[in-house]
């Protein structure tokens, strides 16, 4: 073991540093493109060979590097972006360390050609293994080209970790997509093995941005995207979140940016996850592109060697802001035609716009007599079959369905989900609105309505509960009785008044109004057994939600229950006024629209 302490040669220092900055070809590409963006380029051309392992060329039309500075650009800790420590606190450029180019040059063969407008004469510098060749004049328009060959040619340990050409290229492609999703003012062209794969012109207008979004994330994402935009003080969150029926098996469609820098941040991911909590099927991941713009002094960008992470000074504020904004955006999407989830929908939510509720209130006035409910009729809704008196179960034919002219244009009073016409196989409600046919999954829709109402109830001090004339006594297992005793306050928060009675019984004195038509013994038995089964697994903060979901599920109309037209219409009206009513609690759609056009197509009418 040598005992003498010696300073390492510069080239080796650079190679060691490169280990942190340059992990694979895509890291080279990221650093080069970020430099082009910092140099205010409006055009970036990328040419890759063999997944970037053989060659990566990035050409831009940015400010360029003066010939006298080419060597300096390749020197470690040399940067034009900061000069003193304070600059780091309000950094707006992507680079600031002066490490990228020397790191790349220490692990690859690099040719740097550049031209600034001022001297209007391009120069080229070739460097290999830490040795710079003499500068030579070259031909190059204003801007810079960097040609990186044979990555890791001199660091075999790193080369061994490279994967297949396909994998390495997909990392490179991901880098371009991430940058293109935020730098709408820059055009990108990507070539791989002499083939042009992506051409993205500058996206100036909102429609152009959507087109770019579509090229990168696909049509399906854009069709399900809900626009988010909220600004308060010096925090702004904008971008798009996908409606819950466009969820992913993996967390691969989650793009987060802070001050236009792509990052991966646990605070943001967690906040978005919470915002989707009630609407996403278990185990699925939401899709989104979100940009957070905050005062640069509020965030430390120097928190990760490859700049993939940042540190917020006030994590709590950011978390709450993101969660509330996304939740509100998702909540504002109430009943809305599935087939119009396109451009309309994308402009549906901005914080300045009135919520959909407001729009419904102005466009919707109660329908004609046939479908209007009296208070008593309304109260009788969702009554279980045993509770319904025979005259409430009117045969469908006896209730006339209002005539709705197709594609009506006048200031109609037709509700969004129209009027019920029939029930299909005890599962679906068929209704007609001005566009055509509406199909509703009865149980899923009612589950959401009950869930939202219970949730609202539990968050307000005033609970709408109904005292039972005769308290109900339930026999349960000893462990279930214990559970009720332990979680009494949770039940109370929903509007229940219940207590453990002896070893294995429970007494119920009051129930939430919304569940007043359920078979209460059966409902409680189902919920308590459900909760008991899952209780051990659930964390404390999840318990409340589990309780809510379980009540919503067991307290909502079951398949095969015959509903009369009044009941069906009442459910449609409830859906229209309930947040997130497009999806059931597991993220599945609750209803779909089949327009007359869609139906005509099915029957090949008019062809």
Residues forming contacts to Mg ion in the complex (CB under 5 A) are 35, 95, 100
| Sheet of strand 419-424: strand arrangement | 419-424, 428-432, 436-441, 591-595
Question: What residues contact 535, with CB distance under 8 A and at least 6 apart?
Answer: 483, 543, 546
- Cβ 113 to ligand ATP shortest distance, Å: 10
C-beta of residue 198 within 8 angstroms of C-beta of residue 189: yes
Helix or strand holding residue 123 (H, E)? strand 122-128
- Cβ 50 to ligand ATP shortest distance, Å: 23
User: Which residue number, 31 or 574, has a Cβ lying nearer to Mg ion?
Assistant: 31
> Does residue number 80 form part of the binding site for ligand ATP (CB under 6 A)?
yes
Q: Which does 244 bind (CB under 5 to 8 A by kind): Mg ion, ligand ATP, none?
A: none
- Residue 472 CA to residue 508 CA, distance in Å, equals 5
Copy the structure tokens of residue 476. 């349960």
Helix or strand holding residue 603 (H, E)? none
* Residue listed under structure tokens 């009117």: 394
- Cite the DSSP H helix spans in 228-355: 266-275, 315-331, 343-346
- Residue 600 CA to residue 79 CA, distance in Å, equals 65
Q: Which does 441 bind (CB under 5 to 8 A by kind): ligand ATP, Mg ion, none?
A: none
- Interface mask (CB under 6 A) for ligand ATP, residues 376-415, using x and -? ----------------------------------------
- Cβ 121 to ligand ATP shortest distance, Å: 16
- Cβ 32 to ligand ATP shortest distance, Å: 7
> Does residue number 81 form part of the binding site for ligand ATP (CB under 6 A)?
yes
> Does residue number 147 form part of the binding site for ligand ATP (CB under 6 A)?
no
125: nearest Cα among 115, 111, 114, 139: 111
User: Which residue number, 32 or 484, has a Cβ lying nearer to Mg ion?
Assistant: 32
- Interface mask (CB under 6 A) for ligand ATP, residues 25-64, using x and -? ------x---xx-xx--------------------x-xxx
User: Which residue number, 95 or 143, has a Cβ lying nearer to Mg ion?
Assistant: 95
Copy the structure tokens of residue 209. 């941005």
> Does residue number 65 form part of the binding site for ligand ATP (CB under 6 A)?
yes
Closest residue to Mg ion: CB criterion: 95
- Interface mask (CB under 6 A) for ligand ATP, residues 286-325, using x and -? ----------------------------------------
Q: Which does 415 bind (CB under 5 to 8 A by kind): Mg ion, ligand ATP, none?
A: none
Contact set for ligand ATP, span 127-146 (CB under 6 A): 144
The three-state (H, E, C) secondary structure of 474-535, written as one string = EECCHHHHHHHHHCHHHHHHHCCEEEEECCCEEEEEEEEHHHCCCCHHHHHHHHHHHHHHHH
Report phi then psi at 441, rounded to 5. Answer: -80, 105
| Sheet of strand 505-512: strand arrangement | 465-475, 505-512, 497-501
Q: Which does 60 bind (CB under 5 to 8 A by kind): Mg ion, ligand ATP, none?
A: ligand ATP
Q: Which of 15, 45, 51, 99 binds ligand ATP (CB under 6 A)?
A: 99
Helix or strand holding residue 146 (H, E)? strand 143-149
Closest residue to ligand ATP: CB criterion: 95
Q: Which does 99 bind (CB under 5 to 8 A by kind): Mg ion, ligand ATP, none?
A: ligand ATP
User: Which residue number, 100 or 124, has a Cβ lying nearer to ligand ATP?
Assistant: 100
Residues that bind ligand ATP in the complex, under the rule CB under 6 A: 31, 35-36, 38-39, 60, 62-65, 73, 78-81, 95-101, 144
């Amino acid at each position: 073991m040598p005992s003498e302490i010696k300073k390492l040669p510069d080239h080796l220092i650079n190679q060691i540093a490169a280990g942190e900055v340059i992990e694979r070809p895509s890291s080279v590409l990221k650093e080069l493109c970020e430099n082009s963006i910092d140099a205010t380029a409006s055009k970036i051309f990328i040419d890759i060979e063999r997944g970037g392992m053989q060659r990566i060329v990035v050409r831009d039309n940015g400010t360029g590097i003066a010939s006298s500075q080419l060597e300096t650009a390749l020197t470690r800790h040399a940067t034009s972006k900061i000069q003193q420590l304070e600059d780091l606190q309000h950094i707006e450029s992507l680079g600031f360390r002066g490490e990228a180019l020397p790191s790349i040059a220490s692990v690859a063969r690099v040719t740097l050609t550049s031209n600034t407008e001022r001297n209007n004469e391009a120069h080229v510098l070739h460097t290999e293994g830490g040795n710079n060749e003499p500068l030579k004049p070259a031909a190059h328009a204003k801007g810079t080209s960097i040609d990186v060959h044979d990555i890791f040619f001199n660091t075999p340990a790193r080369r061994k970790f490279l994967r297949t050409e396909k994998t390495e290229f997909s990392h490179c492609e991901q880098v371009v997509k991430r940058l293109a999703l935020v730098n709408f003012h820059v055009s990108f062209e990507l070539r791989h093995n002499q083939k042009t794969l992506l051409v993205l012109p500058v996206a100036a207008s909102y429609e152009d941005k959507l087109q770019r979004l579509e090229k990168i994330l696909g049509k399906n994402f854009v069709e399900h995207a809900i626009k988010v935009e909220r600004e308060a003080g010096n925090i702004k969150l904008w971008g798009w979140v996908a409606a819950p029926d466009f969820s992913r098996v993996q967390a691969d469609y989650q793009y987060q940016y802070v001050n236009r820098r792509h990052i991966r941040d646990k605070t943001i991911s967690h906040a978005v996850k919470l915002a989707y909590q009630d609407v996403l099927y278990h185990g699925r991941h939401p899709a989104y592109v979100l940009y957070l713009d905050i005062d640069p002094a509020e965030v430390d960008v120097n928190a990760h060697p490859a700049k993939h992470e940042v540190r917020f000074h006030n994590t709590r504020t950011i978390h709450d802001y993101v969660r509330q904004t996304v939740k509100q955006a998702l909540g504002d999407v109430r009943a809305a035609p599935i087939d119009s989830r396109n451009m309309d929908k994308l402009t549906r939510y901005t914080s300045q716009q009135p919520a959909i509720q407001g729009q419904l209130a102005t466009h919707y006035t109660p329908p004609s007599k046939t479908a209007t409910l009296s208070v008593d009729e309304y109260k009788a809704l969702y009554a279980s079959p045993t509770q319904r008196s025979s005259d409430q179960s009117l045969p469908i034919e006896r209730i006339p369905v209002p005539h709705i002219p197709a594609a009506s244009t006048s200031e109609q009073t037709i509700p969004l989900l129209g009027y019920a016409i029939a029930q299909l196989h005890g599962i679906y409600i068929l209704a007609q609105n001005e566009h055509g046919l509406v199909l509703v999954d009865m149980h899923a829709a009612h589950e959401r309505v009950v869930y939202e109402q219970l949730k609202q109830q539990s968050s307000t001090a005033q609970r709408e509960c109904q005292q039972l004339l005769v308290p109900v006594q339930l026999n349960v297992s000893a462990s279930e009785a214990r559970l009720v005793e332990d979680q009494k306050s949770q039940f109370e928060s929903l509007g229940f008044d219940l207590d453990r009675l002896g070893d294995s019984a429970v007494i119920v004195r009051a129930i939430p109004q919304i569940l007043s038509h359920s078979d209460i013994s059966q409902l409680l038995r189902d919920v308590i057994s459900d909760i008991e089964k899952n209780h051990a697994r659930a964390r404390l903060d999840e318990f409340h939600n589990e309780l809510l979901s379980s009540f919503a599920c067991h307290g909502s109309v079951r398949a095969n229950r015959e509903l009369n037209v009044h009941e069906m219409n009442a459910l449609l009206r409830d859906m229209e006024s309930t947040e997130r009513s497009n999806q059931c609690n597991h993220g599945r759609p609750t209803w779909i629209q089949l327009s007359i056009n869609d139906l005509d197509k099915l029957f090949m009418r008019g062809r």
